[in-house]
Amino acid sequence: MMDWNAYREKLMAGIGDLQALSPDTVGGYVQASGAGAKTNYLDGKTRELIAIAVAVTTRCDGCISVHAERAVKQGASEQEVAEALGVAVALNAGAALVYSARALDAVKKTTERSDLMTATSS
């Protein structure tokens, strides 16, 4: 498995390099990611649990690393993280189910068109 702490440190150094070259890019990200904390409708732990689940669905190791650390600092237990990850698993499966129906629809429409073209050329 990955050394998440070392990875996070290296990642943050790389983001620091990007910030030096393009401060508005990183600043815009920081502003967007801090917006929820300003309204504070959800507590920090809940926001971090959501962030971990989203990080899994977007397959972002950097996001997993950062938000795992923040979730722990906000008091999230392994059980709470596991439940949030269960939601991510279900959503990914649900998305695959939805897109499976779309793929079948595409096959049906292609088959119908192919059948129609064959019938009109005969």
Contacts of residue 83, defined as CB under 8 A and 6 or more positions apart, other chains included, come to 49
- Please give the pLDDT value at position 104: 97
- Please give the pLDDT value at position 1: 86
- Please give the pLDDT value at position 58: 95
- Please give the pLDDT value at position 114: 78
Percent of the chain residues topping a pLDDT of 90: 84
- Please give the pLDDT value at position 88: 97
Parent domain of 41: 4-121
Q: What residue spans of the chain are helical by DSSP H?
A: 4-21, 23-39, 44-58, 61-73, 78-121
- Give every residue of the chain whose pLDDT is below 50, as ranges: none
With 0-12 CB in 10 A as exposed, 13-18 as middle and 19+ as buried, what is 50? Answer: middle
User: How far apart are the two ends of the chain, measured CA to CA in Å?
Assistant: 61
- Please give the pLDDT value at position 36: 85
User: Residues 63, 51: contact at Cβ < 8 Å?
Assistant: yes
What is the CATH number for 10? 1.20.1290.10
How many domains does the chain fold into? 1
pLDDT in tens, 85-99: 999 999 999 999 999
